[in-house]
Amino acid sequence: MRQSSEAPTPRPSAAPAALPAPPTVPDDAALFLDVDGCLLPFAPSPDAVQVPPGLVERLHVLHTHLDGALALVSGRNVATLDALFAPAVFNAAGLHGVERRRTGQTGTPAEVPPGLVRVRDAARVIVDAYPGALVEDKGAAIALHWRMVDDAGKRAAGIALHAFAAGAVTGLPEYQLQPGDHVIELRPRHADKGSAILAFLAEAPFAGRRPVFAGDDLTDEPGFEAVNILGGISILVGDRPGSAARFHLSSPDAVHRWLGVPAPLPLQETPR
């Protein structure tokens, strides 16, 4: 895992494919990894994601190799991250940086304001008008998804759910909108992925290490900016234009190769 050569320091670009591939994970990395769209390929709904074979084991090896300086940084809540990556328990920031839990510690879920419960219940009524749309209840955040709406209705569903969320957030002063991939979320505004990464970097075993962060979505941009300021390695996954990231990987499969996750064995034909 030694750094292959001196990493170039490319400028942010609107064309992700023009960005170089990241160097090998340095031995002195503090490694921060987004989950959906980065470690895990997108699935039709939040509950349908699959953790690829070998991923958890490889993350565990990296976690040990980096003396524990590896954290998941996700829009999911920490309890869901633990369930997805079980039996491993990684350092984790959840709800886009609002929750933060170190390995070996017990996390405290963020508080749910009564106003959010009312918004969640109203959102459940709104999504009924768009078959395939759904509300994901994450405790202190809610996500309104439309990936499963059929193609003819997708655009209208996205516009309607955006409009609903924009109206609802005006009644929640501590909240902000968080747009994402076929999703609009309402989440607490006091933290983001950048502040979560900086908080990890202020503590052992992350302190003094070189930050490396891979992610795909708009919620990852504050993380890229924090890592860039510190001279770290920011990696956009996928082809979203306008990112501050300085390196590029095309897909979760490419992320797995970069991390050294073993390739799945080819399917064997069953002998007759």
Ligand X SMILES: O=P(O)(O)OC[C@H]1O[C@H](O[C@H]2O[C@H](CO)[C@@H](O)[C@H](O)[C@H]2O)[C@H](O)[C@@H](O)[C@@H]1O
The H-or-E segment that residue 79 falls in is: helix 78-85
Question: What are the tokens at 158?
Answer: 């996205």
Beta bridge partners of 91: 71
| Residue 212: φ, ψ to 5° | -130, 125
Residue 47 makes CB contacts below 8 A (sequence gap 6+) with: none
Separation CA 153–CA 245 (nearest Å): 33
**Which residue, 25 or 183, has its beta carbon nearer to ligand X?**
183
- The one among 19, 35, 157, 197 contacting ligand X by CB under 6 A: 35
| Residue 261: φ, ψ to 5° | -70, 130
**What is the distance of C-alpha 108 from the center of its chain?**
20
DSSP at 36 = B
CB of 104 to ligand X, least distance (A): 22
Q: How many residues bind ligand X (CB under 6 A)?
A: 25
Interhelix angle 151-169/114-127, rounded to 10 degrees, is 160
**Which residue, 19 or 143, has its beta carbon nearer to ligand X?**
143
Q: Check binding of 42 to ligand X (CB under 6 A).
A: yes
Site residues (CB under 6 A) for ligand X, limited to 165-224: 180-183, 185, 217, 219
Stretch that binds ligand X, among 74-82, 84-92, 99-107, 206-214 (CB under 6 A): 74-82
- The one among 101, 145, 210, 256 contacting ligand X by CB under 6 A: 145
Site string for ligand X, 93-122 (x = CB under 6 A): ------------------------------
Question: What are the tokens at 59?
Answer: 């993350």
CB of 172 to ligand X, least distance (A): 17
CB of 78 to ligand X, least distance (A): 12
**Which residue, 35 or 235, has its beta carbon nearer to ligand X?**
35
Decide: helix, strand or coil at residue 60.
helix
34 is catalytic: yes
Residue type present at position 239: D
CB of 50 to ligand X, least distance (A): 9
Residue 16 makes CB contacts below 8 A (sequence gap 6+) with: 236, 238, 239, 240, 241, 243, 245, 248
**Which residue, 143 or 201, has its beta carbon nearer to ligand X?**
143
CB of 140 to ligand X, least distance (A): 12
Separation CA 186–CA 82 (nearest Å): 22
Catalytic residue among 34, 36, 217, 220: 34
- The one among 23, 26, 30, 34 contacting ligand X by CB under 6 A: 34
Cα angle at 112 between 110 and 114, to 5 degrees? 165
3-state secondary structure 252-271: HHHHHHHHCCCCCCCCCCCC
Stretch that binds ligand X, among 8-16, 37-45, 199-207, 250-258 (CB under 6 A): 37-45
The residue at minimum Cβ distance from ligand X is 75
**Active site members:** 34
> Which residues here bind ligand X, judged by CB under 6 A?
34-37, 42-46, 49, 74-76, 136, 138, 143, 145, 147, 180-183, 185, 217, 219
